[in-house]
Amino acid sequence: MEIEADMKRYDVIVVGAGPIGSTAARYAAMNGARTLMVEDHSSIGSPVGCTGLLSTRAVSECDVEPSDDFVFNSVRGAFVHPMNGDRLPIDGKKTKAYVVSRKMFDRQLGAMALGEDVDLWLNTRATGIETSGKIQRLSVIREGRTETIEANVIIAADGVRSRIAKMAGLGNVSKVLPGIQAEVPYRSDDTDFVELFVGSQVPGFFGWTVPVNESISRVGMAVDPKYGINAHEVLEELLINNKHVASRYGGGKLDLVMGGIPLGPLEKTYSDGVIVVGDAAGQVKPTSGGGIYTGAVCAKIAGEVAAKAVSEENSSSNFLSEYDKRWRGKIGKELSMGMRIHNFIGGLEDSELDELIGSMNDPAILDTITRYGDMDHPSILIKKMLHPSRSVHMLKVFRAFAKAVL
Protein backbone atom coordinates (compact mmCIF):
# COMPACT_ATOMS: atom_id res chain seq x y z
CA MET A 1 0.00 0.00 0.00
CA GLU A 2 1.30 3.46 -0.84
CA ILE A 3 1.83 5.90 1.98
CA GLU A 4 0.61 9.41 1.16
CA ALA A 5 2.86 12.31 2.06
CA ASP A 6 1.33 15.43 3.60
CA MET A 7 3.99 17.86 2.35
CA LYS A 8 6.49 18.35 -0.46
CA ARG A 9 9.45 19.35 1.69
CA TYR A 10 11.69 16.70 3.21
CA ASP A 11 15.10 16.53 4.79
CA VAL A 12 16.17 13.52 2.71
CA ILE A 13 14.75 11.95 -0.45
CA VAL A 14 15.85 8.45 -1.45
CA VAL A 15 15.28 7.57 -5.11
CA GLY A 16 14.74 3.82 -5.43
CA ALA A 17 12.95 1.52 -2.97
CA GLY A 18 14.99 -1.64 -3.43
CA PRO A 19 16.84 -3.16 -0.46
CA ILE A 20 19.62 -0.57 -0.64
CA GLY A 21 17.26 2.38 -0.96
CA SER A 22 15.05 1.09 1.86
CA THR A 23 18.09 0.63 4.12
CA ALA A 24 19.42 4.12 3.35
CA ALA A 25 15.99 5.65 3.97
CA ARG A 26 15.57 3.74 7.23
CA TYR A 27 18.95 4.87 8.55
CA ALA A 28 18.32 8.48 7.57
CA ALA A 29 15.01 8.39 9.44
CA MET A 30 16.52 6.60 12.45
CA ASN A 31 19.01 9.45 12.66
CA GLY A 32 16.32 12.10 12.78
CA ALA A 33 15.77 13.06 9.14
CA ARG A 34 12.26 13.44 7.71
CA THR A 35 12.61 11.06 4.79
CA LEU A 36 10.75 10.29 1.58
CA MET A 37 11.39 7.28 -0.63
CA VAL A 38 10.26 7.42 -4.28
CA GLU A 39 9.94 4.34 -6.46
CA ASP A 40 9.52 4.23 -10.22
CA HIS A 41 7.44 1.06 -10.20
CA SER A 42 3.98 0.34 -8.82
CA SER A 43 5.23 -2.00 -6.07
CA ILE A 44 8.37 -2.77 -4.09
CA GLY A 45 10.17 -5.94 -5.17
CA SER A 46 8.98 -5.98 -8.78
CA PRO A 47 10.34 -6.45 -11.33
CA VAL A 48 13.01 -8.83 -10.03
CA GLY A 49 16.50 -8.40 -11.50
CA CYS A 50 18.65 -10.50 -9.20
CA THR A 51 19.70 -14.13 -8.68
CA GLY A 52 18.11 -14.20 -5.25
CA LEU A 53 21.09 -15.84 -3.55
CA LEU A 54 22.08 -13.81 -0.50
CA SER A 55 24.99 -14.54 1.79
CA THR A 56 24.19 -14.99 5.46
CA ARG A 57 26.17 -11.82 6.12
CA ALA A 58 24.12 -9.89 3.54
CA VAL A 59 20.87 -10.82 5.27
CA SER A 60 22.33 -9.91 8.66
CA GLU A 61 23.70 -6.60 7.35
CA CYS A 62 20.14 -5.68 6.34
CA ASP A 63 19.10 -6.13 9.99
CA VAL A 64 16.73 -9.02 9.34
CA GLU A 65 16.61 -12.62 10.50
CA PRO A 66 16.17 -15.38 7.90
CA SER A 67 12.58 -16.58 7.87
CA ASP A 68 10.21 -18.73 5.85
CA ASP A 69 8.56 -15.49 4.76
CA PHE A 70 11.30 -15.01 2.16
CA VAL A 71 13.75 -17.97 2.37
CA PHE A 72 13.15 -20.92 0.01
CA ASN A 73 16.36 -22.85 0.61
CA SER A 74 19.78 -22.59 2.24
CA VAL A 75 23.09 -23.61 0.68
CA ARG A 76 26.45 -24.41 2.20
CA GLY A 77 28.76 -24.75 -0.79
CA ALA A 78 29.32 -24.98 -4.52
CA PHE A 79 30.34 -27.41 -7.23
CA VAL A 80 32.63 -25.64 -9.70
CA HIS A 81 32.58 -27.11 -13.23
CA PRO A 82 35.57 -26.34 -15.50
CA MET A 83 35.46 -26.80 -19.25
CA ASN A 84 37.31 -30.12 -18.86
CA GLY A 85 38.09 -32.22 -15.83
CA ASP A 86 36.40 -33.08 -12.57
CA ARG A 87 34.19 -30.64 -10.76
CA LEU A 88 35.62 -28.91 -7.68
CA PRO A 89 33.50 -29.53 -4.56
CA ILE A 90 33.60 -26.60 -2.12
CA ASP A 91 31.85 -27.41 1.15
CA GLY A 92 31.45 -24.66 3.72
CA LYS A 93 30.12 -27.26 6.22
CA LYS A 94 27.41 -24.82 7.37
CA THR A 95 24.88 -22.47 5.79
CA LYS A 96 26.66 -19.82 3.74
CA ALA A 97 23.76 -18.34 1.78
CA TYR A 98 20.00 -18.29 1.39
CA VAL A 99 17.93 -18.74 -1.75
CA VAL A 100 15.26 -16.09 -1.34
CA SER A 101 12.20 -14.51 -2.85
CA ARG A 102 13.59 -11.08 -3.66
CA LYS A 103 10.06 -9.76 -3.92
CA MET A 104 9.27 -10.70 -0.31
CA PHE A 105 12.75 -9.79 0.97
CA ASP A 106 12.60 -6.34 -0.62
CA ARG A 107 9.12 -5.76 0.77
CA GLN A 108 10.21 -6.67 4.28
CA LEU A 109 12.98 -4.07 4.09
CA GLY A 110 10.52 -1.55 2.67
CA ALA A 111 8.14 -2.23 5.56
CA MET A 112 11.00 -1.72 8.02
CA ALA A 113 11.66 1.70 6.47
CA LEU A 114 7.99 2.65 6.72
CA GLY A 115 8.10 1.51 10.34
CA GLU A 116 10.62 4.30 10.95
CA ASP A 117 8.13 6.84 9.53
CA VAL A 118 9.67 6.97 6.05
CA ASP A 119 7.10 8.14 3.50
CA LEU A 120 6.76 6.25 0.23
CA TRP A 121 5.59 7.39 -3.19
CA LEU A 122 5.09 4.63 -5.76
CA ASN A 123 4.70 5.13 -9.53
CA THR A 124 7.03 8.10 -9.18
CA ARG A 125 9.82 8.72 -11.68
CA ALA A 126 12.58 11.24 -11.00
CA THR A 127 13.10 13.46 -14.04
CA GLY A 128 15.39 16.27 -12.93
CA ILE A 129 17.41 17.94 -10.18
CA GLU A 130 17.84 21.66 -9.59
CA THR A 131 19.99 23.16 -6.87
CA SER A 132 18.81 26.33 -5.11
CA GLY A 133 21.26 27.37 -2.42
CA LYS A 134 21.34 24.55 0.13
CA ILE A 135 18.17 22.96 -1.23
CA GLN A 136 17.80 20.27 -3.88
CA ARG A 137 14.63 20.36 -5.97
CA LEU A 138 13.69 16.97 -7.39
CA SER A 139 11.27 16.97 -10.31
CA VAL A 140 9.14 13.83 -10.57
CA ILE A 141 6.28 12.44 -12.58
CA ARG A 142 3.92 10.92 -10.05
CA GLU A 143 1.06 8.90 -11.48
CA GLY A 144 1.16 11.05 -14.62
CA ARG A 145 1.44 14.41 -12.86
CA THR A 146 4.56 16.57 -12.69
CA GLU A 147 5.55 17.61 -9.17
CA THR A 148 8.56 19.13 -7.43
CA ILE A 149 9.87 18.04 -4.03
CA GLU A 150 12.49 19.84 -1.97
CA ALA A 151 15.14 18.25 0.24
CA ASN A 152 18.54 18.95 1.75
CA VAL A 153 20.00 15.67 0.47
CA ILE A 154 19.01 13.26 -2.29
CA ILE A 155 20.28 9.66 -2.06
CA ALA A 156 20.47 7.93 -5.44
CA ALA A 157 19.65 4.23 -5.06
CA ASP A 158 18.10 3.93 -8.49
CA GLY A 159 20.16 1.12 -9.94
CA VAL A 160 22.94 0.46 -12.39
CA ARG A 161 21.81 3.09 -14.93
CA SER A 162 21.13 5.71 -12.27
CA ARG A 163 19.47 8.81 -13.67
CA ILE A 164 20.19 10.73 -10.46
CA ALA A 165 23.94 10.04 -10.57
CA LYS A 166 24.02 11.19 -14.18
CA MET A 167 21.99 14.34 -13.43
CA ALA A 168 24.38 15.15 -10.57
CA GLY A 169 27.34 14.98 -12.94
CA LEU A 170 28.76 11.80 -11.39
CA GLY A 171 28.08 9.59 -14.42
CA ASN A 172 27.32 5.88 -14.51
CA VAL A 173 29.44 2.79 -13.94
CA SER A 174 31.43 2.24 -17.13
CA LYS A 175 31.45 -1.57 -17.20
CA VAL A 176 28.17 -3.45 -16.89
CA LEU A 177 27.81 -7.17 -17.54
CA PRO A 178 24.45 -8.19 -19.04
CA GLY A 179 22.92 -11.04 -17.06
CA ILE A 180 19.97 -13.36 -17.54
CA GLN A 181 18.37 -16.04 -15.39
CA ALA A 182 15.56 -18.54 -15.84
CA GLU A 183 13.75 -20.48 -13.14
CA VAL A 184 13.38 -23.93 -14.66
CA PRO A 185 12.51 -27.55 -13.88
CA TYR A 186 15.88 -28.96 -12.85
CA ARG A 187 16.91 -32.07 -10.93
CA SER A 188 19.58 -30.86 -8.55
CA ASP A 189 22.24 -33.31 -7.39
CA ASP A 190 22.25 -31.74 -3.93
CA THR A 191 20.11 -28.77 -2.91
CA ASP A 192 22.76 -27.74 -0.36
CA PHE A 193 25.07 -26.72 -3.22
CA VAL A 194 24.95 -24.23 -6.07
CA GLU A 195 26.74 -25.10 -9.32
CA LEU A 196 29.15 -22.77 -11.10
CA PHE A 197 30.28 -23.03 -14.73
CA VAL A 198 33.45 -21.22 -15.77
CA GLY A 199 35.62 -20.75 -18.82
CA SER A 200 34.66 -20.08 -22.43
CA GLN A 201 31.23 -21.65 -21.93
CA VAL A 202 30.34 -18.35 -20.18
CA PRO A 203 32.89 -15.79 -21.46
CA GLY A 204 34.05 -13.13 -19.02
CA PHE A 205 32.12 -14.25 -15.94
CA PHE A 206 30.37 -17.51 -15.01
CA GLY A 207 27.12 -19.43 -15.13
CA TRP A 208 25.20 -20.88 -12.21
CA THR A 209 22.41 -23.11 -11.04
CA VAL A 210 20.82 -22.16 -7.72
CA PRO A 211 18.47 -24.79 -6.24
CA VAL A 212 15.10 -23.50 -5.07
CA ASN A 213 14.13 -27.07 -4.18
CA GLU A 214 14.74 -30.62 -5.42
CA SER A 215 12.94 -30.04 -8.72
CA ILE A 216 13.38 -26.32 -9.51
CA SER A 217 16.56 -24.28 -9.91
CA ARG A 218 17.48 -20.82 -11.10
CA VAL A 219 19.86 -21.18 -14.03
CA GLY A 220 21.62 -18.06 -15.15
CA MET A 221 24.81 -16.35 -16.23
CA ALA A 222 26.44 -13.07 -17.09
CA VAL A 223 28.89 -12.38 -19.90
CA ASP A 224 31.41 -9.68 -20.65
CA PRO A 225 30.03 -7.50 -23.48
CA LYS A 226 33.51 -7.22 -25.00
CA TYR A 227 33.00 -10.70 -26.48
CA GLY A 228 30.01 -9.48 -28.49
CA ILE A 229 27.90 -12.48 -27.43
CA ASN A 230 24.17 -12.32 -26.70
CA ALA A 231 23.48 -13.32 -23.09
CA HIS A 232 20.22 -15.07 -23.97
CA GLU A 233 22.00 -17.23 -26.54
CA VAL A 234 24.66 -18.21 -24.00
CA LEU A 235 21.94 -19.20 -21.52
CA GLU A 236 20.27 -21.40 -24.13
CA GLU A 237 23.63 -22.96 -24.96
CA LEU A 238 24.18 -23.74 -21.26
CA LEU A 239 20.74 -25.30 -20.89
CA ILE A 240 20.80 -27.38 -24.07
CA ASN A 241 24.42 -28.20 -24.88
CA ASN A 242 26.17 -28.40 -21.53
CA LYS A 243 25.95 -32.15 -20.85
CA HIS A 244 25.70 -31.79 -17.10
CA VAL A 245 22.98 -29.14 -17.18
CA ALA A 246 21.05 -30.64 -20.10
CA SER A 247 20.80 -34.04 -18.39
CA ARG A 248 19.06 -32.41 -15.39
CA TYR A 249 17.02 -29.74 -17.19
CA GLY A 250 13.35 -30.63 -17.52
CA GLY A 251 12.60 -28.21 -20.37
CA GLY A 252 10.72 -24.92 -20.48
CA LYS A 253 11.01 -21.84 -18.29
CA LEU A 254 8.90 -20.87 -15.30
CA ASP A 255 10.31 -17.36 -15.02
CA LEU A 256 12.85 -15.20 -16.84
CA VAL A 257 14.66 -12.16 -15.45
CA MET A 258 17.35 -9.92 -16.88
CA GLY A 259 19.61 -7.31 -15.38
CA GLY A 260 23.04 -5.76 -15.35
CA ILE A 261 26.00 -6.29 -13.01
CA PRO A 262 28.11 -3.14 -12.54
CA LEU A 263 31.83 -3.75 -12.13
CA GLY A 264 33.98 -1.12 -10.45
CA PRO A 265 32.77 1.79 -8.32
CA LEU A 266 32.29 5.34 -9.50
CA GLU A 267 35.33 7.54 -9.10
CA LYS A 268 33.23 9.87 -6.93
CA THR A 269 29.95 9.00 -5.17
CA TYR A 270 28.84 12.40 -3.90
CA SER A 271 28.27 15.97 -5.06
CA ASP A 272 26.48 18.99 -3.63
CA GLY A 273 23.31 17.63 -2.02
CA VAL A 274 23.60 14.17 -3.63
CA ILE A 275 24.89 10.78 -2.45
CA VAL A 276 25.03 7.70 -4.72
CA VAL A 277 24.74 4.20 -3.27
CA GLY A 278 24.44 0.52 -4.24
CA ASP A 279 24.43 -0.58 -7.88
CA ALA A 280 24.20 3.08 -8.89
CA ALA A 281 27.62 3.61 -7.29
CA GLY A 282 29.08 0.30 -8.50
CA GLN A 283 29.34 -1.05 -4.94
CA VAL A 284 29.15 -4.66 -6.13
CA LYS A 285 31.53 -7.60 -5.59
CA PRO A 286 33.36 -8.20 -8.90
CA THR A 287 34.01 -11.85 -8.00
CA SER A 288 30.35 -12.83 -7.65
CA GLY A 289 28.22 -9.92 -8.85
CA GLY A 290 26.51 -9.73 -5.45
CA GLY A 291 25.59 -6.26 -4.24
CA ILE A 292 23.30 -6.65 -1.24
CA TYR A 293 25.96 -6.96 1.46
CA THR A 294 28.22 -4.25 0.07
CA GLY A 295 25.28 -2.02 -0.78
CA ALA A 296 23.74 -2.37 2.68
CA VAL A 297 27.05 -1.46 4.33
CA CYS A 298 27.18 1.69 2.21
CA ALA A 299 23.46 2.47 2.56
CA LYS A 300 23.75 2.68 6.34
CA ILE A 301 26.63 5.14 6.01
CA ALA A 302 24.67 7.12 3.39
CA GLY A 303 21.63 7.44 5.67
CA GLU A 304 23.75 8.48 8.64
CA VAL A 305 25.76 11.08 6.71
CA ALA A 306 22.64 12.50 5.03
CA ALA A 307 20.91 12.93 8.39
CA LYS A 308 24.04 14.52 9.83
CA ALA A 309 24.15 16.95 6.90
CA VAL A 310 20.57 17.96 7.68
CA SER A 311 21.21 18.47 11.39
CA GLU A 312 24.33 20.55 10.71
CA GLU A 313 22.67 22.42 7.84
CA ASN A 314 25.51 21.58 5.51
CA SER A 315 24.86 19.45 2.43
CA SER A 316 27.86 20.68 0.48
CA SER A 317 30.01 18.34 -1.56
CA ASN A 318 32.82 18.82 0.93
CA PHE A 319 30.62 17.76 3.85
CA LEU A 320 29.12 14.75 2.03
CA SER A 321 32.61 13.51 1.12
CA GLU A 322 32.55 11.87 4.56
CA TYR A 323 30.26 9.25 3.03
CA ASP A 324 32.74 8.44 0.28
CA LYS A 325 35.66 8.20 2.70
CA ARG A 326 33.77 5.98 5.13
CA TRP A 327 32.44 3.45 2.64
CA ARG A 328 35.77 3.14 0.83
CA GLY A 329 37.42 2.63 4.21
CA LYS A 330 35.05 -0.26 4.91
CA ILE A 331 34.93 -2.12 1.60
CA GLY A 332 37.11 -0.25 -0.89
CA LYS A 333 40.12 -2.57 -0.62
CA GLU A 334 37.91 -5.65 -0.93
CA LEU A 335 36.29 -4.30 -4.12
CA SER A 336 39.70 -3.43 -5.54
CA MET A 337 41.05 -6.90 -4.79
CA GLY A 338 37.88 -8.42 -6.25
CA MET A 339 38.36 -6.52 -9.51
CA ARG A 340 41.92 -7.76 -9.83
CA ILE A 341 40.77 -11.33 -9.18
CA HIS A 342 38.02 -10.90 -11.80
CA ASN A 343 40.48 -9.58 -14.37
CA PHE A 344 43.00 -12.34 -13.64
CA ILE A 345 40.48 -15.17 -13.96
CA GLY A 346 39.01 -13.57 -17.08
CA GLY A 347 42.45 -13.55 -18.70
CA LEU A 348 43.05 -17.29 -18.31
CA GLU A 349 42.70 -19.72 -21.18
CA ASP A 350 40.44 -22.73 -20.61
CA SER A 351 43.45 -24.98 -20.17
CA GLU A 352 44.94 -22.69 -17.52
CA LEU A 353 41.63 -22.45 -15.69
CA ASP A 354 41.20 -26.23 -15.88
CA GLU A 355 44.66 -26.61 -14.35
CA LEU A 356 43.91 -24.10 -11.62
CA ILE A 357 40.66 -25.84 -10.64
CA GLY A 358 42.17 -29.31 -10.95
CA SER A 359 45.08 -28.37 -8.70
CA MET A 360 42.68 -27.07 -6.07
CA ASN A 361 41.02 -30.48 -5.90
CA ASP A 362 43.37 -31.47 -3.12
CA PRO A 363 42.28 -32.35 0.46
CA ALA A 364 44.59 -29.78 2.08
CA ILE A 365 43.48 -26.98 -0.24
CA LEU A 366 39.81 -27.90 0.08
CA ASP A 367 40.20 -27.77 3.85
CA THR A 368 41.70 -24.28 3.53
CA ILE A 369 38.74 -23.21 1.39
CA THR A 370 36.32 -24.58 3.97
CA ARG A 371 38.10 -22.77 6.79
CA TYR A 372 38.70 -19.41 5.15
CA GLY A 373 36.20 -19.18 2.27
CA ASP A 374 33.99 -16.09 2.51
CA MET A 375 31.51 -14.96 -0.17
CA ASP A 376 31.78 -11.34 0.97
CA HIS A 377 35.53 -11.17 1.68
CA PRO A 378 37.30 -13.44 -0.86
CA SER A 379 40.64 -11.73 -0.20
CA ILE A 380 40.94 -13.63 3.09
CA LEU A 381 41.00 -16.96 1.24
CA ILE A 382 43.15 -15.67 -1.62
CA LYS A 383 45.89 -14.57 0.74
CA LYS A 384 45.87 -17.99 2.40
CA MET A 385 45.82 -19.80 -0.93
CA LEU A 386 48.69 -17.82 -2.42
CA HIS A 387 51.25 -19.59 -0.26
CA PRO A 388 53.08 -21.80 -2.82
CA SER A 389 53.49 -24.65 -0.35
CA ARG A 390 49.77 -25.35 -0.68
CA SER A 391 50.42 -27.20 -3.93
CA VAL A 392 53.65 -27.73 -5.87
CA HIS A 393 51.51 -28.42 -8.95
CA MET A 394 50.08 -24.89 -8.78
CA LEU A 395 53.34 -23.05 -8.17
CA LYS A 396 53.43 -21.48 -11.63
CA VAL A 397 49.77 -20.45 -11.46
CA PHE A 398 50.19 -19.05 -7.96
CA ARG A 399 53.11 -16.91 -9.09
CA ALA A 400 51.13 -15.49 -11.99
CA PHE A 401 48.15 -14.94 -9.71
CA ALA A 402 50.24 -13.16 -7.09
CA LYS A 403 51.74 -10.88 -9.74
CA ALA A 404 48.32 -9.93 -11.06
CA VAL A 405 46.49 -9.55 -7.78
CA LEU A 406 48.92 -8.31 -5.13
Nearest to 235 by CA among 276, 207, 216: 207
pLDDT given for residue 5 in this prediction: 44
Task: Give pLDDT tens digits for 203-222.
Answer: 999 999 999 999 999 999 99
pLDDT given for residue 380 in this prediction: 74
Assess whether pLDDT exceeds 70 at residue 387. no
pLDDT given for residue 398 in this prediction: 56
Nearest to 211 by CA among 80, 28, 354, 52: 52
What ranges do the domains of the chain cover? 12-47+104-174+266-331, 74-99+175-262, 342-405
C-alpha 81/C-alpha 87 separation (Å) is: 5
Nearest to 337 by CA among 240, 265, 273: 265
Torsion of CA 263, 268, 271, 277, to 10 degrees: 30
Whole-structure pTM value: 0.92
Assess whether pLDDT exceeds 90 at residue 391. no
pLDDT given for residue 401 in this prediction: 55
pLDDT given for residue 399 in this prediction: 55
pLDDT given for residue 49 in this prediction: 72
Neighbouring residues of 392: CB distance < 8 A, sequence distance ≥ 6: none
| CATH number corresponding to 74-99+175-262 | 3.30.9.10
Same fold? 12-47+104-174+266-331, 74-99+175-262: no
pLDDT given for residue 393 in this prediction: 46
Cα 209-212-215 angle, rounded to 5 deg? 85
Tell me the average pLDDT of the chain: 91
Task: Give pLDDT tens digits for 34-70.
Answer: 999 999 999 998 877 778 999 999 999 999 999 999 9
Torsion of CA 21, 55, 88, 335, to 10 degrees: 50
Nearest to 386 by CA among 400, 368, 372, 402: 402
pLDDT given for residue 2 in this prediction: 45
Q: Residue range 98-106: average pLDDT?
A: 96
| CATH number corresponding to 12-47+104-174+266-331 | 3.50.50.60
